[in-house]
């Protein structure tokens, strides 16, 4: 049994993916990512410095594999252009695809997301789309060639955890590609729940970046994802409405 996560034939040493936004400072960001054990870190192509000026994210995390994202894009066209820029700038064809359809909830736009996925897959990208927890949408994204699907646990940055475990369990059970739960994770127990439902991994940012102690929380998330993965693989005992003793009743003193 291993904690290795395989996406598009590439083996990642951790099932926890971590974002790089919103930390108190860049030193804490670097230390938190190290404590998390994450091998893949997300960066917003619209936010980072690509020219190497000062202590930018790219130079600070040069030993990590980057997953650029199209955060802030609201149309397939904008997302495609952003992905193309990321590939040219960072030398990777991996992309976390976000196409937001509602600014209040930051829900993805399903039709624009499907179109962007179709185009980017045709252009040779390894597409990891952020999507709603809709089993039908996840299946359609996989059918278009997405290398993984990334359904939301709950609203981005909300810390509400897994809001719809029934849907997530269906997605994980049916998926032909890895399922990475993305958005809404607030604490370590949320990550455990996501993994126990059958997820292949968890992507989070705010839960670590905005914690009172980001480095300690990053370490907690590392352990939580591993614990949830092993628990899911091991198989939980069935729930019962009655007690069942773990020791035999025969041979008790006085019987």
Please give the domain boundaries of the chain with CATH numbers for all domains: 5-234 (3.20.20.70)
Report the pLDDT value the prediction gives residue 52, as an integer from 0 to 100: 47
The rounded distance, in Å, linking the Cα atoms of 75 and 68 is: 17
Confirm if 27 and 20 have CB atoms less than 8 A apart. Answer: no
Active-site annotation holds for 210: no
Confirm if 205 and 239 have CB atoms less than 8 A apart. Answer: no
Which residues of the chain are under the pLDDT cut of 70? 1-2, 46-55, 248-255
Report the pLDDT value the prediction gives residue 54, as an integer from 0 to 100: 40
Q: Which of the following is catalytic: 27, 34, 96, 210?
A: 96
- Helices of type H across the chain: 26-36, 57-60, 76-90, 110-122, 135-143, 165-174, 188-196, 206-209, 214-234
Confirm if 87 and 45 have CB atoms less than 8 A apart. Answer: no
Report the pLDDT value the prediction gives residue 1, as an integer from 0 to 100: 53
φ, ψ for residue 172 (rounded to 5)? -65, -40
Report the pLDDT value the prediction gives residue 253, as an integer from 0 to 100: 65
Report the pLDDT value the prediction gives residue 243, as an integer from 0 to 100: 86
The rounded distance, in Å, linking the Cα atoms of 22 and 33 is: 13
Report the pLDDT value the prediction gives residue 170, as an integer from 0 to 100: 96
How far is CA 20 from its chain centroid? 13
pTM of the model: 0.87
- Write out the DSSP string of 112-124: HHHHHHHHHHHTT
Q: What is the DSSP letter of 254?
A: T
Q: Give the Cα-Cα-Cα angle 152, 158, 164 (nearest 5 degrees).
A: 40
The rounded distance, in Å, linking the Cα atoms of 117 and 80 is: 9
């Amino acid at each position: 049994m291993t904690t290795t996560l395989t996406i598009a034939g590439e083996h990642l040493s951790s099932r926890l993916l971590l974002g790089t936004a919103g930390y108190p400072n860049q030193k804490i960001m670097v230390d938190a990512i190290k404590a998390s054990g994450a091998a893949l870190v997300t960066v917003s192509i619209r936010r980072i410095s690509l020219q190497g000026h000062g202590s930018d994210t790219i130079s600070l995390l040069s030993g990590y594999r980057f997953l650029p994202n199209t955060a802030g894009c609201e149309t397939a066209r904008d997302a495609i252009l952003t992905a193309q820029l990321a590939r040219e700038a960072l030398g990777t064809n991996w992309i976390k695809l976000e196409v937001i359809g509602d600014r209040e909830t930051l829900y993805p736009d399903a039709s624009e997301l499907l179109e962007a996925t179709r185009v980017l897959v045709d252009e040779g990208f390894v597409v990891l789309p952020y999507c709603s927890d809709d089993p039908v949408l996840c299946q359609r994204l996989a059918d278009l060639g997405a290398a993984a699907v990334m359904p939301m646990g709950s609203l981005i940055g909300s810390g509400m955890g897994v809001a719809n475990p029934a849907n997530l369990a269906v997605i994980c059970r049916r998926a032909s590609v890895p399922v990475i739960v993305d958005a809404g994770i607030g604490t370590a127990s949320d990550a455990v729940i996501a993994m126990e439902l059958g997820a292949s991994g968890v992507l989070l940012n705010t839960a670590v970046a905005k914690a009172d102690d980001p480095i300690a929380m990053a370490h907690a998330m590392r352990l939580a994802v591993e614990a949830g993965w092993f628990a899911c693989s091991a198989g939980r005992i069935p729930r019962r409405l009655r007690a069942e003793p773990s020791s035999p009743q025969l041979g008790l003193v006085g019987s």
